[in-house]
């Protein structure tokens, strides 16, 4: 019985050691290759002072959809917020005007 208890404790300590070693490993570094850069939203235009939280997504049909939060007055959570959306049907080559 005592031998079983020692084995369980050793196994638990070994598992804990492995977890600590893995959790302190260096994180993977992501280095995207930027081929082209395009400004989608410019603060101060169309009565919008701040654009935040951008999102880009491709649809199954190849459209590129760009969405972000737009704030007219300030960054406070109490102020009015709405979504600014741009959609490209040519895989991002052209992005028509912003929809609100």
pLDDT tens, position by position, 31-77:
888 888 888 888 888 888 889 999 999 888 888 999 999 988 888 77
Evaluate whether residue 15 is within a structural domain: no
**Contact between 99 and 86 (Cβ < 8 Å):** yes
Evaluate whether residue 6 is within a structural domain: no
Evaluate whether residue 67 is within a structural domain: yes
Evaluate whether residue 92 is within a structural domain: yes
Cα–Cα distance for residue pair 24/14, rounded to 1 Å: 16
Structural domain range at position 89: 30-100
**Contact between 51 and 41 (Cβ < 8 Å):** yes
Q: Of the candidates 64, 63, 40, which has an alpha carbon nearest to the alpha carbon of residue 52?
A: 40
- Domain count for the chain, please give it: 1
Evaluate whether residue 8 is within a structural domain: no
Evaluate whether residue 7 is within a structural domain: no
pLDDT band at 17 (very low <50, low <70, confident <90, very high): very low
Cα–Cα distance for residue pair 70/48, rounded to 1 Å: 6
Evaluate whether residue 46 is within a structural domain: yes
């Amino acid at each position: 019985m005592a031998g079983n208890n020692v084995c369980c404790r050793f196994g638990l300590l070994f598992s804990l050691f492995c977890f600590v070693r893995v959790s302190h490993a260096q994180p993977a570094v992501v280095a995207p290759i930027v081929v082209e850069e395009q400004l989608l939203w410019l603060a101060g235009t169309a009565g919008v002072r701040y654009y935040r939280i951008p999102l880009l997504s491709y649809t199954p049909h190849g459209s590129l959809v760009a969405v972000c939060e737009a704030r007219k007055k300030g960054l406070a959570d109490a102020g009015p917020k709405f979504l600014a959306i741009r959609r490209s049907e040519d895989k991002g080559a052209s992005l028509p005007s912003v929809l609100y």
